[in-house]
C-alpha cells in the first residue's frame, strides 16, 4: 500500500477500536448484571484488554505512517520497531486467540464465557466487534504491510511474560472475590486449571508462530524503504 493509504487505514482502525473500547467500558452501571461486573470491572476480561491493545497498536502505526509522510525518517524507524514488536508479540496472537477461543467455547456452552444475561446489556454488534472483527483486522494488517519479527527467544519471552501477568491478575481477582473471571474456570481442579492455563499458553504461542510463518510466506525477506 501507499503510505498515505496506510495512514488512512491505520487512522480509521484506531478510531474504530477507540470507539469500541469506549463503548464497552461505558456500559451504564445500572445495566450491569451483578454477577458479571464484580471486582476489576471490565478490565478483568482479556477481550476488553485486547481492545485497548489494538487501539494502542493502530495509534502507533498511524504515528509511524505520519512520520514517514513528513520524512522524519530517524524517528519513523524507532516507531516502526515499536509497531512491529507490538503486532508480532501481542496484537496478532492475542486477537487470534480471543476470536477463536471465544467462539469455540461459546459454541460449546456460552454460559462458560458469555452468560445469556449479557445479551440485554451488550448489543450484538458490540459482541461481534469485540470477538469477531478483531481477527479480520489482524489478518488485514498482516496483508497490508510486512512486519519485522523479533528474535524468537525475545518474542516468546515477552509473550510469555504478558500471559503470566494476565493469569496472575485472574488469580488475584479470585483470591479477593472468590469468583472466577470466567465461569469455565470453576469446572477445574487446581491441577486441571494449571493444565488449562498451560494449554492456553501453548495455543497463543502457536498463533505467534503462525503469524510469523504467514508474514514470511507473504513477504519473504524484506527491507524497509523510506
Quote the pTM value. 0.91
- pLDDT, mean of residues 95-116: 94
CA–CA gap between residue 11 and residue 63 (Å, rounded): 9
Q: Is 117 exposed, middle or buried (0-12, 13-18, 19+ CB in 10 A)?
A: middle
pLDDT number for residue 222: 56
Nearest CA-CA partner of 36 in 119, 134, 102: 119
Copy the grid coordinates of residue 181. Answer: 473471571
Q: What is the pLDDT of residues 47-79, one digit of tens each?
A: 999 999 999 999 999 999 999 888 777 778 889
pLDDT number for residue 42: 83
CA–CA gap between residue 1 and residue 15 (Å, rounded): 20
pLDDT number for residue 225: 42
pLDDT number for residue 120: 84
Q: What is the pLDDT of residues 163-210, one digit of tens each?
A: 999 999 999 999 998 889 998 999 999 999 999 999 999 999 999 999
Q: What is the pLDDT of residues 138-159, one digit of tens each?
A: 999 999 999 999 999 999 999 9
What SS3 class is residue 71? coil
pLDDT number for residue 118: 86
In whole angstroms, how large is the CA radius of gyration of the chain?
19
Q: What is the pLDDT of residues 8-36, one digit of tens each?
A: 999 999 999 999 999 988 875 444 444 55
pLDDT number for residue 28: 57
pLDDT number for residue 64: 94
pLDDT number for residue 30: 47
Amino acid at each position: 500500500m501507499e503510505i498515505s493509504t496506510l495512514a488512512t487505514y491505520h487512522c480509521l482502525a484506531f478510531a474504530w477500536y477507540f470507539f469500541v473500547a469506549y463503548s464497552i467500558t461505558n456500559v451504564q452501571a445500572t445495566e450491569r448484571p451483578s454477577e458479571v461486573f464484580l471486582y476489576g470491572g471490565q478490565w478483568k476480561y482479556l477481550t476488553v484488554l485486547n481492545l485497548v491493545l489494538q487501539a494502542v497498536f493502530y495509534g502507533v502505526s498511524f504515528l509511524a505512517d505520519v512520520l514517514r509522510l513528513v520524512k522524519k525518517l530517524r524517528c519513523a524507524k524507532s516507531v516502526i520497531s515499536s509497531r512491529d514488536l507490538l503486532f508480532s508479540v501481542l496484537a496478532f496472537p492475542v486477537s487470534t486467540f480471543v476470536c477463536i477461543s471465544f467462539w469455540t467455547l461459546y459454541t460449546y456452552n456460552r454460559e462458560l464465557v458469555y452468560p445469556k444475561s449479557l445479551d440485554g446489556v451488550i448489543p450484538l454488534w458490540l459482541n461481534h466487534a469485540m470477538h469477531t472483527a478483531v481477527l479480520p483486522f489482524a489478518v488485514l494488517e498482516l496483508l497490508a504491510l510486512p512486519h519485522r519479527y523479533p528474535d524468537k527467544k525475545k518474542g516468546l519471552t515477552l509473550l510469555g511474560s504478558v500471559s503470566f501477568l494476565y493469569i496472575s491478575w485472574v488469580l488475584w481477582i479470585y483470591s479477593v472475590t472468590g469468583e472466577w473471571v470466567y465461569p469455565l474456570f470453576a469446572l477445574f481442579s487446581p491441577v486441571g486449571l494449571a493444565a488449562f492455563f498451560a494449554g492456553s499458553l501453548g495455543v497463543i504461542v502457536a498463533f505467534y508462530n503462525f503469524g510469523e510463518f504467514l508474514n514470511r510466506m507473504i513477504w519473504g525477506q524484506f527491507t524497509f524503504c523510506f
